[in-house]
């Protein structure tokens, strides 16, 4: 694996030179030690500002991995349990048949409230109390725990409000205090970014043709069951200062280096910090719910707050990897079999995970080859 850094650097340089990508970061840890920290391209195509290892990217749902990690760290400390009814912490949530919903159901996307109202605006998403009131008052689409559908936005508000009710602190503060600061990444791992840090973020751009595709999407598209067009993860949405500064923990703003370090610390000690016990890690990374996604219609298996598998891997096959990808193509995961923690962040929003699949494949082969 000695030349893995160079292999990854060559790959991402090629992606930028070909025009497929604008700016990327890749970070890899193995058994708690950094083995790759590579960057390519520009963070802002208008100014030419280069990507650096500490540049935060709005990686959209890749940030759900950090949201889940906060919950697990609190379970580890005994603040609540996976089978704690949400209503015990958040009484207002227990209406319309959601009384029996648990933290486990929130983490496995089985609570039954996968969508936000059709009139939700980006400004609404930035209003924590308003969104939590909407989610708490929602009628579930099914009995909690019996079916699944990806909770694109609501995952963040549900888990985030559980954390806030249990600790008295916003989830962004708990992320900083319990995860980011101990790992030395408090300035690279955010939900809401401080205004003073906005100038450091990578600027997102849409893949050619994506705006036209969004406009042409029929009104009965499954995607619109998650939320209205105005809340879709486009570059315009993800470059808004109010969105970047808001706690919307269905997504996150983060560097690949910070993500890989966090995932490494779930499995191993990283500079003296380990986030989970080996027993907790086994529970967290195992299949917790399998079913057919009620919105998209595809078979899915969820671990506790994480998807299972590598980018490009068989979504239905067995896997020792768990993590999250995000709209636009960023991805991060841990692999308990190899001790590899991987993260790729990027600012050109593509419809697939081609870059992550390519680079993760290089890492997987290097590990297999020793």
By annotation, the residues acting in catalysis are 61
In this structure, the number of other CB atoms found within 10 A of the CB of residue 260 comes to 31
Residues 162/102, Cβ–Cβ less than 8 Å: no
Helix or strand or coil: residue 148? strand
CA pair distance 370, 346, nearest whole angstrom:
28
Q: At what angle do helices 154-167 and 64-76 cross, to 10 degrees?
A: 30
CA pair distance 107, 155, nearest whole angstrom:
7
CA pair distance 90, 29, nearest whole angstrom:
37
Residues 364/17, Cβ–Cβ less than 8 Å: no
The alpha carbon of residue 82 and the mean position of all alpha carbons in its chain are separated, in whole angstroms, by 19
Query: Which is it for the CA torsion 124, 125, 126, 129, positive or negative?
Result: positive
């Amino acid at each position: 694996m000695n030349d893995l850094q160079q292999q990854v650097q060559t790959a991402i340089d090629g992606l930028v030179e070909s025009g497929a990508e604008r700016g990327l970061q890749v970070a890899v840890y193995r058994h708690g030690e950094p083995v790759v920290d590579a960057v390519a391209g520009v963070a802002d195509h208008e100014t030419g500002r280069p990507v650096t290892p500490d540049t935060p990217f709005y990686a959209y749902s890749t940030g759900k991995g950090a949201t889940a990690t906060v919950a697990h760290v609190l379970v580890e400390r005994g603040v609540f349990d996976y089978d704690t009814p949400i209503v015990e912490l958040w009484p207002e949530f227990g209406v319309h048949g959601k009384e029996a919903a648990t933290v486990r159901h929130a983490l496995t996307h089985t609570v039954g409230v996968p969508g936000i109202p059709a009139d939700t605006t980006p400004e609404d998403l930035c209003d924590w109390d308003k969104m939590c009131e909407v989610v708490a008052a929602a009628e579930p689409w099914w009995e909690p725990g019996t079916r699944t559908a990806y909770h694109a936005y609501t995952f963040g508000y549900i888990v985030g409000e559980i954390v806030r009710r249990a600790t008295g602190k916003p989830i962004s503060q708990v992320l900083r205090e319990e995860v980011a600061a101990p790992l030395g990444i408090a300035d690279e791992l955010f939900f809401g970014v401080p205004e003073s840090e906005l100038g450091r973020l990578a600027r997102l751009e849409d893949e050619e043709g994506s705006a036209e595709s969004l406009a042409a999407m029929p009104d009965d598209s499954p995607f619109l069951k998650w939320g209205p067009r105005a809340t879709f993860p486009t570059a315009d949405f993800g470059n808004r200062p109010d969105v970047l500064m808001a706690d919307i923990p269905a997504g996150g703003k983060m560097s690949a280096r910070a993500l890989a370090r966090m995932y490494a610390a779930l499995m191993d000690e990283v500079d003296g910090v380990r986030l989970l016990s080996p027993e907790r890690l086994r529970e967290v990374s195992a299949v917790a719910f399998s079913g057919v996604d009620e919105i998209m219609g595809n078979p899915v298996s969820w671990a506790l707050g994480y998807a299972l598998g590598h980018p490009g891997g068989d979504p239905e096959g067995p896997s020792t990897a768990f993590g999250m990808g995000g709209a636009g193509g960023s991805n991060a995961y841990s692999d308990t079999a190899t001790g590899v923690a991987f993260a790729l962040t990027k600012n050109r929003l593509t419809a697939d995970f081609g870059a992550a699949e390519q680079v993760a494949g290089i890492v997987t082969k290097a590990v297999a080859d020793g």
